[in-house]
Structure 1
Amino acid sequence: MNYAQAIKAANDLANVLPFLGARPSRKDYEDALSLMEYLIEHQPDSPLIDMLTAKIDKYENESPEFAEFNARIASTPSGVALLRTLMDQHHLTQSDLENEIGKKSLVSRILNGQRTLTLEHMRALAKRFDLPVSAFVGD
Protein backbone atom coordinates (compact mmCIF):
# COMPACT_ATOMS: atom_id res chain seq x y z
CA MET A 1 0.00 0.00 0.00
CA ASN A 2 1.21 3.46 -0.80
CA TYR A 3 0.67 5.45 2.40
CA ALA A 4 1.48 8.76 0.74
CA GLN A 5 -1.29 8.21 -1.83
CA ALA A 6 -3.77 7.22 0.87
CA ILE A 7 -2.93 10.30 2.96
CA LYS A 8 -3.19 12.58 -0.08
CA ALA A 9 -6.56 11.04 -1.04
CA ALA A 10 -7.86 11.54 2.51
CA ASN A 11 -6.66 15.17 2.56
CA ASP A 12 -8.19 15.81 -0.86
CA LEU A 13 -11.48 14.37 0.33
CA ALA A 14 -11.41 16.51 3.49
CA ASN A 15 -10.85 19.59 1.30
CA VAL A 16 -13.85 18.72 -0.88
CA LEU A 17 -15.97 17.77 2.14
CA PRO A 18 -14.92 20.12 4.96
CA PHE A 19 -17.09 18.18 7.41
CA LEU A 20 -14.50 15.42 7.32
CA GLY A 21 -11.85 17.87 8.54
CA ALA A 22 -10.84 18.64 12.11
CA ARG A 23 -13.19 21.55 12.93
CA PRO A 24 -16.54 21.30 11.16
CA SER A 25 -18.90 24.28 11.21
CA ARG A 26 -22.68 24.26 11.50
CA LYS A 27 -22.88 24.73 7.71
CA ASP A 28 -20.51 21.78 7.20
CA TYR A 29 -22.79 19.73 9.46
CA GLU A 30 -25.91 20.69 7.48
CA ASP A 31 -24.11 19.95 4.19
CA ALA A 32 -23.07 16.56 5.58
CA LEU A 33 -26.68 15.74 6.47
CA SER A 34 -27.79 16.67 2.94
CA LEU A 35 -25.04 14.58 1.39
CA MET A 36 -25.94 11.68 3.67
CA GLU A 37 -29.57 11.80 2.53
CA TYR A 38 -28.45 11.86 -1.11
CA LEU A 39 -26.07 8.94 -0.62
CA ILE A 40 -28.63 6.80 1.19
CA GLU A 41 -31.08 7.37 -1.65
CA HIS A 42 -28.69 7.06 -4.60
CA GLN A 43 -25.53 5.26 -3.43
CA PRO A 44 -26.45 3.24 -0.32
CA ASP A 45 -23.23 1.20 -0.45
CA SER A 46 -20.91 4.21 -0.56
CA PRO A 47 -18.07 4.11 2.00
CA LEU A 48 -18.70 7.83 2.52
CA ILE A 49 -21.82 6.90 4.49
CA ASP A 50 -19.73 5.29 7.24
CA MET A 51 -17.32 8.22 7.34
CA LEU A 52 -20.10 10.79 7.47
CA THR A 53 -22.07 8.84 10.06
CA ALA A 54 -19.09 8.81 12.41
CA LYS A 55 -18.44 12.53 11.97
CA ILE A 56 -22.13 13.48 12.28
CA ASP A 57 -22.41 11.41 15.47
CA LYS A 58 -19.29 13.05 16.91
CA TYR A 59 -20.54 16.53 16.03
CA GLU A 60 -23.96 15.91 17.58
CA ASN A 61 -22.41 14.45 20.74
CA GLU A 62 -19.83 17.20 21.24
CA SER A 63 -21.47 20.38 19.92
CA PRO A 64 -22.77 22.70 22.65
CA GLU A 65 -25.90 23.37 20.60
CA PHE A 66 -26.99 19.74 21.14
CA ALA A 67 -26.03 19.52 24.83
CA GLU A 68 -29.51 20.19 26.25
CA PHE A 69 -31.16 17.83 23.78
CA ASN A 70 -28.60 15.08 24.48
CA ALA A 71 -29.08 15.47 28.24
CA ARG A 72 -32.87 15.22 27.87
CA ILE A 73 -32.60 12.13 25.67
CA ALA A 74 -30.15 10.48 28.06
CA SER A 75 -32.57 10.98 30.95
CA THR A 76 -35.60 9.62 29.05
CA PRO A 77 -36.28 5.89 29.34
CA SER A 78 -35.79 4.24 25.94
CA GLY A 79 -39.35 2.90 25.77
CA VAL A 80 -40.77 6.38 26.30
CA ALA A 81 -38.36 7.84 23.74
CA LEU A 82 -39.49 5.22 21.23
CA LEU A 83 -43.13 5.94 22.02
CA ARG A 84 -42.58 9.68 21.44
CA THR A 85 -40.89 8.94 18.13
CA LEU A 86 -43.68 6.63 17.00
CA MET A 87 -46.30 9.18 17.99
CA ASP A 88 -44.49 11.81 15.96
CA GLN A 89 -44.00 9.55 12.93
CA HIS A 90 -47.63 8.41 12.92
CA HIS A 91 -49.02 11.86 13.84
CA LEU A 92 -50.70 10.48 16.95
CA THR A 93 -52.01 12.35 19.95
CA GLN A 94 -52.16 11.07 23.51
CA SER A 95 -55.83 10.28 22.95
CA ASP A 96 -54.95 7.96 20.05
CA LEU A 97 -53.26 5.53 22.46
CA GLU A 98 -56.30 4.80 24.61
CA ASN A 99 -56.54 1.17 23.43
CA GLU A 100 -52.88 0.47 24.19
CA ILE A 101 -52.28 2.53 27.35
CA GLY A 102 -55.50 4.05 28.63
CA LYS A 103 -56.84 7.53 29.17
CA LYS A 104 -55.05 10.58 27.84
CA SER A 105 -54.03 11.58 31.39
CA LEU A 106 -52.17 8.27 31.90
CA VAL A 107 -50.39 8.63 28.55
CA SER A 108 -49.40 12.16 29.59
CA ARG A 109 -48.00 10.95 32.93
CA ILE A 110 -45.98 8.24 31.14
CA LEU A 111 -44.58 10.72 28.61
CA ASN A 112 -43.69 13.12 31.44
CA GLY A 113 -41.90 10.44 33.45
CA GLN A 114 -44.42 10.35 36.29
CA ARG A 115 -45.48 6.78 35.44
CA THR A 116 -43.80 3.93 33.60
CA LEU A 117 -44.98 1.71 30.79
CA THR A 118 -46.28 -1.60 32.14
CA LEU A 119 -45.59 -4.90 30.40
CA GLU A 120 -49.24 -4.87 29.26
CA HIS A 121 -48.73 -1.41 27.68
CA MET A 122 -45.53 -2.59 25.99
CA ARG A 123 -47.24 -5.65 24.54
CA ALA A 124 -50.13 -3.59 23.18
CA LEU A 125 -47.80 -0.97 21.69
CA ALA A 126 -45.59 -3.66 20.16
CA LYS A 127 -48.64 -5.24 18.52
CA ARG A 128 -49.94 -1.90 17.21
CA PHE A 129 -46.60 -0.84 15.72
CA ASP A 130 -45.47 -4.34 14.69
CA LEU A 131 -42.36 -4.19 16.87
CA PRO A 132 -40.88 -6.62 19.37
CA VAL A 133 -41.90 -5.99 22.98
CA SER A 134 -38.20 -5.69 23.79
CA ALA A 135 -38.09 -2.43 21.81
CA PHE A 136 -40.02 -0.78 24.65
CA VAL A 137 -37.95 -2.35 27.44
CA GLY A 138 -34.72 -0.91 28.73
CA ASP A 139 -33.08 1.87 30.67
Structure 2
Amino acid sequence: MSILIKRAAEHWEFVAPLLRKPKNEEDYDQLAQALDELLAMTGGDESHPLMSLVDIIGDWIEEWDHKHHPMPKPSGVEVLGYLMREHALSQSDLPGVGTQSVVSEILSGKRQLNVRQIRWLAERFAVSAETFI
Protein backbone atom coordinates (compact mmCIF):
# COMPACT_ATOMS: atom_id res chain seq x y z
CA MET A 1 0.00 0.00 0.00
CA SER A 2 1.34 3.39 -0.92
CA ILE A 3 2.08 5.92 1.78
CA LEU A 4 -0.53 8.29 0.34
CA ILE A 5 -3.29 5.65 0.59
CA LYS A 6 -2.13 4.65 4.06
CA ARG A 7 -2.32 8.27 5.26
CA ALA A 8 -5.72 8.73 3.65
CA ALA A 9 -6.99 5.56 5.33
CA GLU A 10 -5.71 6.73 8.72
CA HIS A 11 -7.60 10.02 8.42
CA TRP A 12 -10.60 8.78 6.45
CA GLU A 13 -13.11 9.04 9.33
CA PHE A 14 -12.35 12.77 9.53
CA VAL A 15 -12.33 13.43 5.79
CA ALA A 16 -15.16 11.13 4.63
CA PRO A 17 -18.04 13.50 5.51
CA LEU A 18 -16.58 16.06 3.10
CA LEU A 19 -16.05 13.62 0.28
CA ARG A 20 -19.60 12.49 -0.35
CA LYS A 21 -22.11 13.87 -2.81
CA PRO A 22 -25.20 15.16 -1.03
CA LYS A 23 -28.10 12.71 -0.79
CA ASN A 24 -30.52 15.09 0.96
CA GLU A 25 -30.89 18.72 2.01
CA GLU A 26 -29.06 18.13 5.28
CA ASP A 27 -26.01 16.79 3.40
CA TYR A 28 -26.28 19.73 1.02
CA ASP A 29 -26.38 22.24 3.89
CA GLN A 30 -23.35 20.63 5.54
CA LEU A 31 -21.38 20.76 2.30
CA ALA A 32 -22.36 24.39 1.75
CA GLN A 33 -21.15 25.25 5.26
CA ALA A 34 -17.92 23.33 4.68
CA LEU A 35 -17.41 25.20 1.40
CA ASP A 36 -17.86 28.53 3.18
CA GLU A 37 -15.26 27.53 5.76
CA LEU A 38 -12.84 26.31 3.10
CA LEU A 39 -13.20 29.53 1.13
CA ALA A 40 -12.49 31.54 4.29
CA MET A 41 -9.37 29.43 4.86
CA THR A 42 -8.07 29.65 1.28
CA GLY A 43 -8.78 33.34 0.95
CA GLY A 44 -9.26 33.03 -2.80
CA ASP A 45 -5.70 31.79 -3.30
CA GLU A 46 -6.03 29.54 -6.37
CA SER A 47 -2.74 27.81 -5.54
CA HIS A 48 -3.82 26.87 -2.02
CA PRO A 49 -3.60 23.09 -1.44
CA LEU A 50 -7.27 22.97 -0.40
CA MET A 51 -8.53 24.47 -3.66
CA SER A 52 -8.99 21.03 -5.22
CA LEU A 53 -11.36 20.19 -2.34
CA VAL A 54 -13.13 23.53 -2.89
CA ASP A 55 -13.59 22.61 -6.56
CA ILE A 56 -14.97 19.14 -5.78
CA ILE A 57 -17.44 20.36 -3.17
CA GLY A 58 -18.41 23.33 -5.34
CA ASP A 59 -19.18 21.01 -8.26
CA TRP A 60 -21.36 18.77 -6.05
CA ILE A 61 -23.25 21.77 -4.68
CA GLU A 62 -23.78 23.14 -8.18
CA GLU A 63 -25.03 19.76 -9.41
CA TRP A 64 -27.47 19.53 -6.47
CA ASP A 65 -28.71 23.07 -7.10
CA HIS A 66 -29.38 22.42 -10.78
CA LYS A 67 -31.31 19.27 -9.97
CA HIS A 68 -33.17 20.30 -6.80
CA HIS A 69 -33.28 24.11 -6.88
CA PRO A 70 -33.61 25.01 -10.57
CA MET A 71 -33.80 28.67 -11.46
CA PRO A 72 -37.01 29.62 -13.27
CA LYS A 73 -36.52 30.96 -16.78
CA PRO A 74 -37.26 34.69 -16.80
CA SER A 75 -39.82 36.04 -19.23
CA GLY A 76 -38.76 38.29 -22.09
CA VAL A 77 -40.32 41.25 -20.28
CA GLU A 78 -38.33 40.47 -17.12
CA VAL A 79 -35.14 40.31 -19.18
CA LEU A 80 -36.00 43.61 -20.85
CA GLY A 81 -36.56 45.26 -17.45
CA TYR A 82 -33.27 43.87 -16.19
CA LEU A 83 -31.35 45.09 -19.26
CA MET A 84 -32.91 48.51 -18.97
CA ARG A 85 -31.81 48.78 -15.34
CA GLU A 86 -28.30 47.49 -16.13
CA HIS A 87 -27.87 49.99 -18.95
CA ALA A 88 -29.65 52.81 -17.07
CA LEU A 89 -32.19 53.19 -19.86
CA SER A 90 -35.57 54.85 -19.65
CA GLN A 91 -38.62 53.73 -21.57
CA SER A 92 -38.04 56.46 -24.13
CA ASP A 93 -34.50 55.14 -24.79
CA LEU A 94 -35.93 52.23 -26.79
CA PRO A 95 -37.31 53.81 -29.99
CA GLY A 96 -37.10 50.49 -31.84
CA VAL A 97 -39.74 49.10 -29.49
CA GLY A 98 -42.05 52.09 -29.74
CA THR A 99 -43.01 55.17 -27.85
CA GLN A 100 -42.59 55.50 -24.12
CA SER A 101 -46.23 54.52 -23.63
CA VAL A 102 -45.81 51.35 -25.76
CA VAL A 103 -42.74 50.32 -23.75
CA SER A 104 -44.67 51.03 -20.54
CA GLU A 105 -47.53 48.78 -21.69
CA ILE A 106 -45.06 46.00 -22.54
CA LEU A 107 -43.31 46.25 -19.17
CA SER A 108 -46.64 46.21 -17.31
CA GLY A 109 -47.86 43.15 -19.22
CA LYS A 110 -50.66 44.95 -21.08
CA ARG A 111 -48.98 44.36 -24.42
CA GLN A 112 -46.68 41.65 -25.77
CA LEU A 113 -43.50 42.13 -27.73
CA ASN A 114 -43.92 41.53 -31.45
CA VAL A 115 -41.37 39.99 -33.83
CA ARG A 116 -40.06 43.36 -35.04
CA GLN A 117 -39.54 44.61 -31.49
CA ILE A 118 -37.85 41.38 -30.47
CA ARG A 119 -35.44 41.59 -33.40
CA TRP A 120 -34.61 45.20 -32.58
CA LEU A 121 -34.03 44.41 -28.89
CA ALA A 122 -31.85 41.41 -29.75
CA GLU A 123 -29.67 43.59 -31.98
CA ARG A 124 -29.66 46.50 -29.50
CA PHE A 125 -28.45 44.32 -26.62
CA ALA A 126 -26.42 41.86 -28.71
CA VAL A 127 -28.33 38.82 -27.46
CA SER A 128 -30.32 36.06 -29.09
CA ALA A 129 -33.89 36.86 -30.09
CA GLU A 130 -34.92 33.86 -27.98
CA THR A 131 -34.00 35.93 -24.93
CA PHE A 132 -37.20 37.94 -25.37
CA ILE A 133 -39.55 35.12 -26.37
What TM-score does the superposition give when structure 2 sets the normalisation length?
0.55
Unaligned runs of 5+ in 2: 1-7, 21-25
Q: Does 1:49 align with 2:58?
A: yes
Gaps of 5+ in 1: 62-69
Deviation at 1:57, TM superposition (A): 6.2
Query: What's the CA shift for 1:92?
Result: 1.4
The yes-or-no answer on 1:21 pairing with 2:19 is no
1:115 matched to 2:121? The reply is no
Count the aligned residue pairs. Answer: 107
Q: Matched residues in 2 for 1:86 and 1:8: separation?
A: 47
Q: Post-superposition shift, 1:20? A: 3.5
Contact 1:19 1:55 in 2 (8 A): no
CA 8–108 in structure 1, closer or farther in 2 if over 3 Å, else same: farther
Letter in 2 for 1:95: S
User: Match of 1:84, as an amino acid?
Assistant: G
Q: Distance in 1 between matches of 2:84 and 2:122?
A: 13
Q: Which has the larger radius of gyration?
A: 2
**What is residue 128 of structure 2 aligned with on the other side?**
132
CA distance, structure 1, for counterparts of residue 124 and residue 16 of structure 2: 47
RMSD of aligned Cα (Å): 4.2
Q: What is the TM-score of this pair, normalised by structure 1?
A: 0.53
Preserved contact between residue 110 and residue 116 of structure 1 (Cα < 8 Å): yes
For the pair 1:93 / 2:101, whether they are aligned, the reply is no
SS of 1:46's partner is helix
Cα 1:126–1:52, aligned 2, differ >3 Å: closer, same or farther?
same
Greater helix share, 1 or 2?
A: 1
Q: Which amino acid aligns with 2:87?
A: H
In structure 1, what is the equivalent of residue 17 of structure 2? 11
Could you tell me which amino acid in structure 2 is paired with residue 124 of structure 1? W
Identity of aligned residues (%): 31
Q: By how many angstroms is 1:102 displaced?
A: 1.0
